[in-house]
């Protein structure tokens, strides 16, 4: 018994692949209903509600890589079609913070494996009702023998097998896409994602990363990282941290509060690599808290990338180059960053427009992020009806360049959820290597 108990690997794959299949069927059903005279807006709302409910049920139950993908999508939920009732927003926000945990009886064996039969003497008064649940494990509150409040993260039984199934499903899809658009080079990217996701299953590895961050940010005025108390391969014990999740901050806090937490969030995501040689590569709001003293609390260090010299200078130089109107400067930066094959002709001006969602905020001393802005940006460049849509196929993204742009997009997505007004140019100049350098 474990993740999606009773669901075989084949059933798991079919349920994941069934989401886009059902979406296509819904489109046909919508056409038929409108042709029969049903109110178009009512049809669209009902189909949207059905699709959102189905997605949350499937991803929330399956957990593993399927839920991880949903949580990643939650950072950019405004890229989905127009949603006046915020159906998708509410659904994906739920995937960030309201995942249904497993009964304690299904995860207790991991405590026995990690701490022995007498684990209750080590983790005193452990609450059998999970305080939180995520894609790979759930968290219970407890105390140590010396009286410290701790968070006990226990990995779901069977999650490794579920993750392997999800990766195989993604690999099949990526090979199909690569056959049509080989320049996208999805298979090696999936391979890189596989390495990162498998690292998340090793809580000892996560503990080492978290402790590195905790020591680097000890007594910091803006950021708090809970220290590690104990680690086993499938159980991680850390200091307990109260706070308000960023999804709730986005929905309930005033503008001043949202702006302040957004600035701390941006600084942490960009400044972490230079400070401790690691990039936190899971930027979704469920991993961050607004604490009572206004500092930013950071959780979940299972997904990190070793960057001993900080963020790559080529990434900062690319963002800086995109500020210019000089196609030659941008072309040189794209090639330096490894995003365009040597000698391959490119339509640089169209690519500059395509990459605008990454670079537009850097044009401004302060930028007001919003869902509407991000939706418009991606709706424009990702519309297949746009004759410039295929320009994206001119980019070749090598695996080693996958995470900085992906993380930056996630940061932009969270800042847009917060509807925050944030200092950008000076912050990038201070924190992003290469941003202030002239591109030759």
Question: Which sequence spans correspond to the domains of the chain?
Answer: 9-97, 104-158+200-239, 313-431
pLDDT at residue 30, rounded to an integer: 60
Give the pLDDT mean for 312-331.
85
Residue 313: which pLDDT band, with cuts at 50, 70 and 90? confident
Higher confidence at residue 98 or residue 406?
Answer: 406
Q: Taking the model in full, what pTM does it have?
A: 0.74
Segment among 133-147, 266-280, 321-335, 363-377 with least mean pLDDT: 321-335
Which candidate, 208, 223, 238, places its Cα nearest to that of 297? 223
Rounded to whole angstroms, the Cα distance separating 418 from 439 reads 33
Out of 197-206, 268-277, 378-387, the most confident range is: 268-277
Q: What is the pLDDT of residue 340?
A: 74
| pLDDT confidence of residue 67 | 46
Q: What's the confidence (pLDDT) of residue 260?
A: 97
Residue 36 pLDDT class (50, 70, 90 cuts): low
Task: Give the least confident one: 43-47, 119-123, 269-273, 390-394.
Answer: 390-394
Q: In this predicted structure, what is the pLDDT of residue 70?
A: 46
**Tokens 């930027």 identify what position?**
283
pLDDT at 64: 44
Confidence of residue 192 (pLDDT cuts 50, 70, 90): low
3 state DSSP class of 142: strand
Identify whether the C-beta of residue 15 lies closer than 8 Å to the C-beta of residue 62: yes
Residues in contact with 105: Cβ distance below 8 Å, sequence separation at least 6, in sequence order: none
pLDDT > 90? residue 218: yes
Given a cut of 90, whether residue 198 has pLDDT beyond it is no
> Residue 177's pLDDT is what?
47
Of these ranges, 46-50, 156-160, 340-344, 397-401, the one predicted with the greatest mean pLDDT is 156-160
The predicted structure's pLDDT at residue 200: 81
Residue 293 burial (CB < 10 Å; 0-12/13-18/19+)? exposed
Phi, psi of 319 (to 5 degrees): -60, -40
The CATH fold of domain 104-158+200-239: Phosphorylase Kinase; domain 1 (3.30.200)
Report the range out of 11-15, 48-52, 158-162, 395-399 with the highest average pLDDT.
158-162
Task: With beta carbons less than 8 A apart as the criterion, state whether 212 and 278 touch.
Answer: yes
Please state, in angstroms and rounded to a whole number, the distance separating the CA atoms of residues 165 and 184. 23
Which percentage of the chain shows pLDDT scores above 90?
39
CA–CA separation, 213 and 5 (whole Å): 35
Q: pLDDT confidence of 181, banded at 50, 70, 90?
A: very low
User: What pLDDT digit, counting tens, does each position of 201-214 carry?
Assistant: 899 999 999 999 99
**Residue 23 pLDDT class (50, 70, 90 cuts):** low
Q: What is the per-residue pLDDT for 249?
A: 96
Report residue 256 as tokens.
């001043």
Q: How does the average pLDDT of the chain come out, rounded?
A: 77
Say what the pLDDT of residue 357 is.
Answer: 74
Predicted confidence (pLDDT) at residue 112 exceeds the cutoff of 60: yes
pLDDT at residue 194 tops 90: no
For residue 368, what is the enclosing H or E element?
strand 366-368
């Amino acid at each position: 018994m474990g993740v999606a108990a009773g669901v075989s690997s084949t059933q798991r794959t079919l349920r994941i692949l069934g989401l886009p299949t059902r979406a296509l069927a819904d489109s046909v059903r919508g056409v038929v209903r409108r042709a029969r005279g049903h109110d178009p807006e009512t049809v669209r709302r009902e189909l949207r509600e059905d699709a959102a409910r189905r997605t949350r049920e499937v991803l929330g139950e399956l957990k593993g890589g399927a839920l991880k993908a949903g949580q990643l999508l939650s950072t950019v939920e405004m890229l989905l079609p127009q949603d006046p009732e915020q159906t998708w927003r509410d659904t994906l926000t739920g995937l960030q913070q309201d995942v249904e945990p497993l009964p304690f009886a299904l995860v207790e064996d991991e405590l026995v494996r990690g701490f022995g039969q007498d684990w209750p003497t080590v983790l005193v008064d452990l609450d059998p009702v999970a305080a939180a649940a995520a894609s790979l494990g759930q968290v219970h509150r407890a105390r140590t023998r010396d009286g410290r409040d701790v968070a006990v993260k226990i990995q779901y039984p069977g999650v490794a097998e579920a993750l392997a199934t999800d990766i195989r499903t993604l690999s099949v899809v990526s090979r199909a896409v690569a056959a049509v658009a080989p320049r996208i080079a999805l298979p090696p990217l999936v391979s890189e994602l596989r390495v990162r996701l498998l690292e998340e299953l090793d809580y000892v590895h996560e503990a080492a990363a978290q402790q590195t961050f905790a020591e680097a940010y000890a007594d910091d005025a803006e950021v708090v990282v809970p220290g590690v108390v104990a680690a086993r391969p499938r159980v991680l014990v850390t200091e307990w941290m109260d706070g308000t999740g960023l999804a709730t901050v986005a929905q309930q806090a005033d503008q001043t509060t949202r702006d302040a937490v957004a600035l701390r969030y941006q600084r942490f995501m960009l400044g972490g690599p230079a400070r401790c040689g690691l990039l936190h590569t899971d930027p979704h709001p469920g991993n961050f808290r607004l604490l009572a003293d206004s500092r930013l609390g950071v959780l979940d260090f299972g997904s990190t990338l070793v960057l001993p010299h900080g963020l790559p200078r080529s990434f900062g130089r690319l963002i800086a180059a995109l500020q210019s109107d000089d196609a030659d400067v941008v072309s040189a930066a794209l090639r330096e960053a490894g995003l365009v094959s040597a000698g391959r002709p490119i339509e640089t001006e169209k690519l500059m427009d395509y990459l605008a969602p990454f670079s537009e905020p850097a044009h401004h001393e302060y930028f007001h992020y919003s869902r509407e802005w991000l939706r418009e940006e991606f709706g424009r460049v990702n519309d297949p009806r746009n004759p410039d849509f295929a320009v994206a196929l001119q980019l070749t993204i090598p695996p080693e360049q996958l995470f900085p742009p992906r993380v930056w997009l996630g940061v932009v997505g969270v800042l847009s959820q917060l509807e925050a007004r944030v200092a950008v140019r000076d912050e990038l100049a201070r924190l992003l290597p290469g941003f202030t350098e002239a591109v030759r």
